[in-house]
Structure 1
Amino acid sequence: MSNLRHRLWLNLILLCVLIITGEHAQNVPDMASLLDTKLDLSHSNLTILQPSMFQQYPDLQILDLSYNALEDMNFSVFRIQSVLQKLDISHNKLRTMNCSSLHYIKGVTHLNMSYNDFQATFLCKEFASLVKLRHLGLSATKIKRSDFLNIAHQGLQTVFLGLENLQLYEAGGLQSLRTEKLHVVLPQNLTDSTHLLYDDFNISKTLEISNMLCEKTCNNAVLQIVIKSMVSNLIISDITMSGYEMVRILQICWRSTVEHLSIYRFTLIKEFDYEKFDFSVGSLKSLSFDYIFLQVFLYNSEEHPVKIFSEMFVENLTLSNAEISHFYCPPSPSMFHSLILTNNKLTDMIFAKCQTLTNIQLLDLQNNILEKLSHVTSMTSTMKSLKNLDVSGNRLYSEINKDCEWSPSLRVLNLSRNKLTDSVFSCLPTYLEVLDVSNNQLSSVGEEVNHLKSLKELYLSSNQLSHIPDCSYLSKNLIYLSIDENLIYSPSKEHLTKCQNVKQIVLGKNKYQCNCELQEFISSAESLYENLVGWPQSFMCEHPQELRGVMLKNFRPSKLSCNIFILVGVIVGTMAVLFIFMLFLCKHFDLPWYIRMIFQWLRRKYRIRNVHNDEAIMGKRFHAFISYSQEDNEWVKKLLIPNLEKSDQAIKLCHHERDFIPGKTIVENIINCIEKSFKSIFVLSPNFIQSEWCHYELYFAQHSLFGKNSDNLILILLDPIPQYLIPNKYSKLKAIMKQRTYMEWPKEKRKHGLFWANLREAIQTNIPLEDEEIFVLN
């Protein structure tokens, strides 16, 4: 009970989480439907059933209660499950059953009650109400003639009888049973099973008998029973016997009404020698052996027992999972239409130079150890009726410059799961309609496929293709193309468009790289979505990592990043806007002036770093000597000197009104001040060129010893001076203004701060000025 509660709560929690989170809301109804219609409670240690267990499943259709410990069954627990169709109560401990409650499951089509503790079949009269019952599973230790009368009117399709523990069987006990197929697990301890076998072979046309263990005395009874039976389709499973007994069974079936004989899970014991037998006359059309477990590895005769099968006159022969390494070419023209030899150890020598398989239409050799494709082509060249060849799951590789002689009738060829490369396309039969070369080592599909004019289906999945094949090389009749699970990162729009006449294209599950180049392909895919199988769910981005798992349909890159013309336009437009903005700044804020001032500051900083400071400041007492016209005296006194000589006394200027020594000539004072100053400041204006003394000061400053080796002249253009207004005698001034960068006095007040800062930076240096007067009167 605890296990049941756990399952129910788990289902409820899962459904609630899906609804609350809202994730994948479109799938919630499907999940809810799955939880409501199918319930597996097998292996849950249930001992009793309660109606409350199933109240939340009113739409339950499939219920599995097998492998529990139920001892009694009352079907009233399913009173609200009116649509219940399949009920499995096998492998319990049921001894009794409430027959009056059977009407609660009257819609059941599948009912499995096998492997319980019923003494009899327990088919009470109420089973007549199960009018839709088609599949029934039972077990019993005793079977009487009247046991199946209550379901005699039922048109059953399948009846399973697990009779391993049968102890008593009354002759004719199964005669009233009507079913299309009867599956009986034979008892091992029943003293006489002749009557049971006789009834088995005369109830339905399809019979499966399991757990058959025959000794030499078994074949005589089987012989008489099979010959007189009505069975046309006989299935023998889980059978253990010697080769001799097996051959007797084959001989018996050959002369009976059996047309189709299938043997599954056959364990061979004792000897199995080749024995000549005439298989030319008989009713058997198909013979199938699947899973043969050998306990015999040595044979007494010179001929291998497998030769028996090659001599059989049957239309369809299957030897699968039989561990055979060779199969004989029939000694005479064979009537094989279908020959299936899958999951064995067959090599390239199979059917070498065989001329007798002229009627074969289907040859299935998948999952063997074939290697050379040329041997396969040579093998089929004599099979004039061959239409379908399956050699998948081998070790085939294609050889270069080898003749390829295929059967001219071949239409379907499966070469999947081998080691084939691109060269295989030059070695294919011309009239193929279906070609499967998936799961190989193909990297491209080129012009070599031009000769396949009739091709309708082409399977190229799980290879190494990096592009969609060019459909112009493929047949115009192609209706199906599978190229999923390859290495197609960026498929071509043009190649996809060329394949628009192909009705179904499987192109999903590739490693798509979602970038601008893929955008055109996505647009084409959306227009051809009816042709693309799995669109859009199977088409996912693989690269880049941040887009992994995103459907191609939802990949929407910006037009700016993918259109080069738009991108160039945006860049050019942005540059134009910036250019216009710069023009506006230049005009409105005089930006060139600021740039020029900053450049001058940086240039002076660089030059000062490269001057030998000790030599430059030796004997200096002033930071700068000021030379100006007397007409500009007011500007110098009120603005220049106060802004440079501040209270911090970091700069000391040489001003002639303050620092010229009385008693000396003007020329001597000018020369002395220039020599005692680290730099010279010249305030240029139209007034400056009219002053003779200013001309002398400029001349002396330029030709001073220090001035020859460093940038000791600072020119301040107070007012503009056109070159044509400067007299010829002031050639030095013209040359200096052309060679040196000068500082312009800005008329706008907002620029004054930067001007003074730049000027102070130009003349400031560490000169060891003394506290007392620098010049002492003589």
Structure 2
Amino acid sequence: WGDKRWGGPLVCGPVARCSSVRSIARYSFCNLSHVPLVPNDTTWLQLNFNSIRRVNATSFPLLVHLIILELGSQTDPVVIGNAAFRNLPNLKQLDLADNKMLTLAPDAFVGLSHIHSLRLYSNGLDQSILESDYLRDMISLEYLDLFGNKITRLRPHSLFYRLTSLQIVNLKLNQISMICEGDLNSFQGKLFLLFILNSNSLYSRTPVDFNRCGNPFKNINIDTLDLGGNGWTVDIMQQFFTAIKGTPILFLKLPHHLMGPGFGFHNLRDPDNNTFAGLTGSGLGLLDISYGFIFSLSHHLFQNMKDFKLLDVNHNKINQIQKEAFSGLESLKHLNLSYNLLGELYSYTFAGLHNVTTIALQENHIGAISGNPFIYLTKLELVDLRENALKIIPSFLHLSTVFLGGNRLVSIDKFGVSAVNLDLERNRLTNLGDVYHLLQVPDLKYLFLKQNRLSDCSKETNVSKGINVTEKSQLTYLDLGENMLKLVWERDLCLHVFSALSKLVVLHLNNNYLSFLPRNIFSGLTSLNRLNLASNLLSYISHGDFPASLKKLDLSGNQLLHPDPELFATLSFLDITFNRFYCDCDLSGLIVWLNQTNVTLAGPQDNMFCVAPPDFAGVALHIISTVQCNEDEVLKPLQFSLFIFTTVALIMLLSAVIIFTHFRGNCFILYKTVTRALLKEAQQEADTKPCKYDVYLCYSNKDFEWVQKSLIKYLDTQYSDRNRFTLCFEERDFLPGEEHIINIRSAIWNSRKTICVVTRQFLKDGWYLKDVLIMVVAGSLSQYQLMNYKPIRVFVQRSQYLRWPEDHQDRDWFLDKLSHQILKEKKVRKESRGLELQNVMTVS
């Protein structure tokens, strides 16, 4: 918790309530009714916001290491008994504040000789806390806070003579209406760093005769005396200053006063040259008369205030500064006239301020400057003219800082400022070409131009092209944010604006509606370290756009879809939050980089999320997996599956080939059986032309046994009912006694087809007919041997022939094919000579 109001120790990070960790006991908001047991090594005990009603000598165990005790803001009235803190011998800070109703026993603070800070604010205490000897043992007390109590009289007990270390007394928001000479006798001889009597209605509730009251601060030295908020008029001010004349005061605070009529009223007076006369000889260095109604600073108002270093009259109603109003302020360094009603400045306005270094004129209504009111201020370093109505930049001597933001400047044609730090924010500048003129200021290092209307470059002169600027420019910081540079660069204007800025370290281009970066726009920025491109419309960035020196980049709030992580490899800090990332595999490189990079990333990771496709909208990048986008990873299962599939397919194919090779006969039989069963294949009808035989078999007599076993047995109907052809062959069907040639001719004419079984023996026997095409093929005859016989050669050239299979299991296939050839209708041209054949088939 620390101190609730005066900046005590702070504890950062999450803390565990109602427990002790590392010598700190945190028991605030624990609904306690008594002091809990804590470790003996506790140095800081927090008991705020509980319901502890009474503390006595036995409430605390012996805690010799305890330094800080907080016992404030209890929900019920609290009674502190005698010697309540006797077991805390080394206590240095005691906080009993904000207990609404605190009752102290006479010896409540006995033994607290090491206390240097006592907080008793907002406890409903009356003047007895000071007039009695409650604090008699607090010889080390430095800070006494009695803010917001009910003290009506200020006559401290004589024990305060002994409290030589007391430096700060806070009596703000009590009810002390009068302090006269002698009331503070026990404070005499002390030096107070801060003495606060603010908001007590002091001297304003009843009339006071200061001649009789005298000087309440006689023989007391005060660094800062706060008497503000007491409702003092000019008369009370003047009388009080006269009464305390000569009292050493370094800083006198009198804010929230009633001096001045304000605007349009005359019931209260403005201060005059007599008002502050009594402060002469006090060594006063700082005077705060802010938050009042002063309308006019009169002639010689602060005469003879030669020790003043700071004069603060902000938040009054000052509309007029008369001639020589500041005469006599020979040592004044800081003048604050902000938040008044000044409309004009004249050449005499600041006359006499020969040593002033800073003048604050923020948020007046200054629209006109006559002459040059700053010309004689040779030591002036800073002028603050923000939030006024200036249309023309006034002329200054060489300054360190000039604040001109929030005015109505439209041009800097007549630029008369030589400064290191120049603020031109929130004006009406439209011409980016004006920047080139500003770059000619020799010592300019910091230039602020954000929130203007920069959208054109109509004055691009030789200066604007960078001539005679490169060696002069010392600019290290440039803020061009919140303008409309897109309208400039999309017309290829002012593309050299950064070419001369070799020393620029920081550049702000945020909120400029930029949808692209002109090529080489940053090429001259060889020292650029930090670049702000936030809140633009950038969707793509090219390699080489950023200088090599860049370390910190802000690209938040753009429309980047798939930024290349290589663009950010050299950075130490990157902000790409709130972009419009399209989460497909093109973004996988960035996602992987974000999870592995050492670059510091701005903002919570949840602020980097997808906007599309719809399935990923709103999903943070850091939780998206990119495995499916890795080709090698994706192809691994596919490759494995393909390998398995190919292997299995090859094995099955090879197995099928092997099985078919070894069992092709059985396969053919199965095929024919299934075909007949499913398709109900019908046998072709016999030729309508009456034929006695289906086939005439022509073969060598020596081959009969083979022909009978291989063909007749499986084709002839007389051998088996399963066969389907009527065959004609010599041994059975030739008529005995007839000539052999007549039997052959009769067999051919009475058969639909003729099959010649050609073997070597067939050729040896000379089985061929004149002028009749006869196919001659042997079982092991080659094509060359067949072609040696002219009749066979002619037939082979125009027709096909069949070979008897060497493998027995191919027999059924061959017979099926032979059957189809027998049933097949084929017209054969009739020869004029020799025998007319319907068809001749050769079988090897």
TM-score band by shorter chain is 0.5 to 0.7
Q: Distance in 2 between matches of 1:483 and 1:38?
A: 49
1:122-133 correspondence to structure 2 within 5 Å: 122=130, 124=133, 126-129=135-138, 131=140, 133=142
Task: Structure 2: state its 5+ residue gaps.
Answer: 1-13, 30-43, 262-268, 390-404, 553-569, 696-713, 716-723, 728-750, 754-781, 787-791, 802-808, 811-844
Q: Helix, strand or coil: the match of 1:192?
A: coil
1:279-678 correspondence to structure 2 within 5 Å: 282-292=306-316, 314-322=332-340, 324=342, 326-328=344-346, 330-331=348-349, 335=354, 336-346=356-366, 349=368, 356=375, 359-367=379-387, 377=412, 381-384=415-418, 386-392=419-425, 394-402=426-434, 404=437, 408-416=442-450, 430-437=473-480, 447-458=496-507, 473=523, 498-499=548-549, 507-508=574-575, 510-511=577-578, 513=581, 515-518=587-590, 526=598, 529=599, 535=601, 542-544=608-610, 557-558=626-627, 561=629, 577=643, 581=647, 584=650, 587-588=653-654, 639=670, 642-646=673-677, 651-655=679-683, 665=691
* Equivalent of 1:267 in 284, 292, 308: 292
Any idea what the Cα deviations from partners look like across 1:630-663, whole Å, max 9, x if unmatched?
Answer: xx99999x646642454xxx7433236xx76999
Closer/same/farther in 2, CA of residues 32 and 222 from structure 1, 3 Å limit: closer
Q: Distance in 2 between matches of 1:330 and 1:734?
A: 129
Question: Does the 8 A contact of 2:302 with 2:326 survive in 1?
Answer: no
Question: Does the 8 A contact of 1:49 with 1:77 survive in 2?
Answer: no
Greater gyration radius:
2
Q: Helix, strand or coil: the match of 2:474?
A: coil
Q: Once the 2 structures are TM-superposed, how far is the Cα of residue 152 of structure 1 from its aligned partner? A: 3.2
Question: Does the 8 A contact of 2:17 with 2:26 survive in 1?
Answer: no
Q: Distance in 2 between matches of 1:548 and 1:388?
A: 43
Question: Does the 8 A contact of 1:487 with 1:510 survive in 2?
Answer: no
Q: Helix, strand or coil: the match of 2:222?
A: coil
Closer/same/farther in 2, CA of residues 315 and 359 from structure 1, 3 Å limit: same
Question: Does the 8 A contact of 2:17 with 2:28 survive in 1?
Answer: no
Q: Once the 2 structures are TM-superposed, how far is the Cα of residue 204 of structure 1 from its aligned partner? A: 0.9
Q: Helix, strand or coil: the match of 2:140?
A: coil
Q: Distance in 2 between matches of 1:254 and 1:452?
A: 53
* Equivalent of 1:109 in 112, 117, 142: 117
Closer/same/farther in 2, CA of residues 190 and 360 from structure 1, 3 Å limit: same
Closer/same/farther in 2, CA of residues 634 and 354 from structure 1, 3 Å limit: closer
* Number of equivalences: 604
Task: Structure 1: state its 5+ residue gaps.
Answer: 1-13, 20-27, 595-631, 670-686, 699-721, 736-745, 748-778
Match of 2:192 in 1: 179
Q: Helix, strand or coil: the match of 2:119?
A: strand
Match of 1:258 in 2: 284
Q: Helix, strand or coil: the match of 1:222?
A: helix
Q: Distance in 1 between matches of 2:24 and 2:163?
A: 40
Q: Distance in 2 between matches of 1:60 and 1:31?
A: 10
Counterpart of 1:584, as a letter, is L
Counterpart of 1:451, as a letter, is A
Q: Once the 2 structures are TM-superposed, how far is the Cα of residue 316 of structure 1 from its aligned partner? A: 1.5
Counterpart of 1:142, as a letter, is R
Counterpart of 2:312, as a letter, is S
Q: Once the 2 structures are TM-superposed, how far is the Cα of residue 209 of structure 1 from its aligned partner? A: 1.3
Match of 1:136 in 2: 145
Any idea what the Cα deviations from partners look like across 1:571-595, whole Å, max 9, x if unmatched?
Answer: 997898589659736842669x99x
Q: Helix, strand or coil: the match of 1:431?
A: coil
Question: Does the 8 A contact of 2:77 with 2:99 survive in 1?
Answer: no
Q: Helix, strand or coil: the match of 2:238?
A: helix
Question: Does the 8 A contact of 1:418 with 1:439 survive in 2?
Answer: yes
